A = this chain, B = another copy of it.
Amino acid sequence: MTGEVEKQFSEGALGARRKVYLGLMADLEQGRIVPGQRLVETDLAIQFGVGRNAVREAMQQLAGRGVVELTPNRSSMVRKLDLAETLEVLDVADVMTGLLARYAARHMPGAVQAPELAIAMTGLEDAHNSHDVIAFSRARRHFYRALLAIAQNRELQRLFPAIGMHIIYSQHQTRKLREVRLSDYRAIFEAVNAGYAEAAEAAARDHVANVRSIIMESF
Contacts and interface: CB of A to CB of B under 8 A. Distances in A.
A39 to B, nearest CB: 16
Interface residues on A, range: 20 to 34
A140 to B, nearest CB: 19
Contact of A95 (B56, B60, B85, B95): B95
A156 B99 contact: no
A130 B53 CA distance: 46
Number of identical monomers bound together in the oligomeric complex:
2
- Tell me the dominant secondary structure on chain A's binding face: helix
A15 interface: yes
Interface of A: 15, 17, 53, 56-57, 60-61, 63-66, 72, 85, 88-89, 91-92, 95-96, 98-99, 103, 153-156, 158-159, 162-164
14 contacts: A53-B56, A56-B57, A60-B60, A63-B64, A64-B65, A64-B162, A66-B155, A85-B154, A88-B156, A91-B155, A95-B96, A96-B96, A159-B163, A162-B162
